[in-house]
Structure 1
């Protein structure tokens, strides 16, 4: 009796818009794209297919912080395995975080750039480490960090394989080193720098498309980046008094001049729920940002569970007072949440206060870094700057203002 072989059309599964990307064998494969441009899904499917096709290949998946890997790229690759209907051939483990192709022992390794020794010391059991995927590459703000990763993919590879580093990201800021290095580079056979957007994703339904149409109408600046995949133009940053630094959190916390500050901004479907975790040194005029929560679709029960899991259930948290029902529910669940005060000129006064401080951001706070490097003054129809911030990249920025409410001296301000 002959066994039946099920044939799957990879091209039909992936769809259009990525043919050159899937064929490219040069060293640097770069894809910036809008939301829902299927760049991550396409990349995950491509790697699962190619590892099954090439029995000597191994893949290293990188994000800036290791804790973000499980709920992002790891989950995306598990989805790709299921989509290709090859679950029986793969083993996925969370401790250690790995995916193994059972017939050969090939592996997909996951590492965060916040543990550099583990990134540079990988020894594979089978074949060679020839591929690297850096997801949300925008988070890697220092080109030197990328150079370190680049150097880890080296040495000869068996015939038929190729060494390649893939970067996928949303192009929030045109000043990122990725633009000058890859997109502005002269033609090079080792570089494919590609832009995609949601219009090449034929799997979106009418409801999905309406989200982008509303964005195009109501927030054209965001649509340019999150809809079309163009570079975000940063002009007139609100906070330039910040730096990224891997400071010792416990050492800062023990300083006699330092007090903690926690702020919570609510979101759900289109906006994230954001928790700001900071340490304030009023004597030396410094704000240390040491942790964050930044997740979509969170119920009050999930917010409580996540904050508890992070170890901050006993902290005093100042939350958006426009959500009294949520504040009440979180208090019932055991969190020490209270609504921010109301008053006049809150946003401007809060910003003025924060601008007098040096903001030191721990590298693991990737969403805070993304927001603060894109948080700008708004402009009117004549391109003249207004004295109000844009209504974007402001979830952790608002949470920071709520958290610092008690340190602001003077009138009682509104946090609307």
Structure 2
């Protein structure tokens, strides 16, 4: 069986064969590090019977929505050996015919961190976990550990010390190491060099830096969206290929704005968007740029309002959001990432200007449309569009 990989696979393979106990994979956005590390580790445990592999991330929702999804895709499409009977969904353990197994858990699960030993540890997005959590996991790992991350942190982060350890093989990868990227994604990443130097360093060049000039520097992560919130509705930002379709539940409690990520997915058809929105039973406030989509969603029985994108609406909506304390549910992993990277643009002198970058803002935009439509009361009057409006002749 021939499986295409990038040079990250060979880099990890060489490090392990050289006897390193830890492989620290630092990388830019879309460098293929997670996908190729998984391919390597799955090949390894298939070649070594009765080997245990633990795949770990900070929270279970983020794990299920990222690295576990990649694992399943690799098993189905690359290895062509996925068997539902081998997957224990309740324990999140996949057992292979040779006696090896791969378990998935989050560091939120204290018992799993301090539980049984494993042969191999893989920490995905390792910059999210604490040093104590990493230490507890590594102490119970007998063969080797792999950790990957985007380097958006300061010099005080524990990963900086880990990378200096002689037992650690540290390497940096970028999107240029991934020959399978679509041009639209490459263009989006490279646009960062003209918008924000720090984000370009981290997500374009894979270099360590801290995001500066955050639009929302302070927000709180909460367990749940409160059932007693007022003005509850859904914000919707349309996407398709490079950009995801984003849906967020929004509501107000006193001076707090609660946000709850509901959908963040590319290549969604209108019918699939409707399938997400309909069970919510909420009024929807959406991007008004595509009247055809608005009409199709409305025809499905969903109350949807196109938010008014008046001149200055971007900063107007953001300023209104800033009047509240933002409270984000802990499983809103993509929204949390956006808020940590959504910054103001910089001019040629490196000074921040009063305009945010057009990146890391899909769920933020969805929340802004709800803010403009529901809180500020600025919506376009719904109407039945004729064929000419929709581009049909």
TM-score by length of 2: 0.81
Q: CA deviation at 1:77?
A: 2.8
CA 349–91 in structure 1, closer or farther in 2 if over 3 Å, else same: same
Q: CA deviation at 1:338?
A: 1.4
- Whether 2:121 is the aligned partner of 1:132: answer yes
Distance 1:156 1:318 in 2: 48
- Whether 2:259 is the aligned partner of 1:264: answer no
Distance 1:191 1:317 in 2: 49
Question: Pairwise mapping of residues 263-412 of structure 1 onto structure 2 (< 5 A)?
Answer: 263-281=235-253, 284-308=254-278, 311-312=279-280, 314-406=281-373, 408-409=375-376, 412=378
> Is the 1:261–1:403 contact (alpha carbons within 8 Å) kept by the matching residues of 2?
yes
Unaligned runs of 5+ in 1: 1-5
Distance 2:25 2:271 in 1: 37
Instruction: Name the SS for the 2:348 alignment partner.
Output: coil
Distance 1:89 1:407 in 2: 47
CA 52–387 in structure 1, closer or farther in 2 if over 3 Å, else same: same
Instruction: Name the SS for the 1:404 alignment partner.
Output: helix
Distance 1:14 1:122 in 2: 30
Q: CA deviation at 1:35?
A: 3.8
CA displacement, residues 26-62 of structure 1 (integer Å, 9 cap, x when unaligned): 4442212234423122211221122133334211212
Instruction: Name the SS for the 1:392 alignment partner.
Output: coil
What is the aligned partner in structure 1 of residue 384 from structure 2?
none
- Whether 2:135 is the aligned partner of 1:147: answer no
Q: CA deviation at 1:388?
A: 1.0
> Is the 1:344–1:413 contact (alpha carbons within 8 Å) kept by the matching residues of 2?
no
> Is the 1:292–1:368 contact (alpha carbons within 8 Å) kept by the matching residues of 2?
no
Match of 1:191 among 168, 190, 207: 168
Unaligned runs of 5+ in 2: 381-393
What is the aligned partner in structure 1 of residue 391 from structure 2?
none
Distance 1:183 1:121 in 2: 24
Distance 2:193 2:64 in 1: 32
Q: CA deviation at 1:332?
A: 1.7
CA 29–334 in structure 1, closer or farther in 2 if over 3 Å, else same: farther
Distance 1:25 1:363 in 2: 38
Instruction: Name the SS for the 2:66 alignment partner.
Output: helix
> Is the 2:342–2:357 contact (alpha carbons within 8 Å) kept by the matching residues of 1?
yes
> Is the 2:9–2:37 contact (alpha carbons within 8 Å) kept by the matching residues of 1?
no
> Is the 1:16–1:200 contact (alpha carbons within 8 Å) kept by the matching residues of 2?
no
CA 21–266 in structure 1, closer or farther in 2 if over 3 Å, else same: farther
TM-score by length of 1: 0.77
Q: CA deviation at 1:108?
A: 0.8
> Is the 1:263–1:275 contact (alpha carbons within 8 Å) kept by the matching residues of 2?
yes
CA 45–54 in structure 1, closer or farther in 2 if over 3 Å, else same: same
What is the aligned partner in structure 2 of residue 101 from structure 1?
96
CA 377–358 in structure 1, closer or farther in 2 if over 3 Å, else same: same
CA displacement, residues 158-178 of structure 1 (integer Å, 9 cap, x when unaligned): xxxx142x222334x334x8x
Distance 1:86 1:304 in 2: 32
Match of 2:228 among 239, 254, 257: 254
Question: Pairwise mapping of residues 150-229 of structure 1 onto structure 2 (< 5 A)?
Answer: 150-155=135-140, 157=142, 162-164=143-145, 166-171=146-151, 173-175=152-154, 180-183=157-160, 187-201=164-178, 203-204=179-180, 208=182, 212=186, 215-216=189-190, 220=194, 221=196, 224-229=201-206
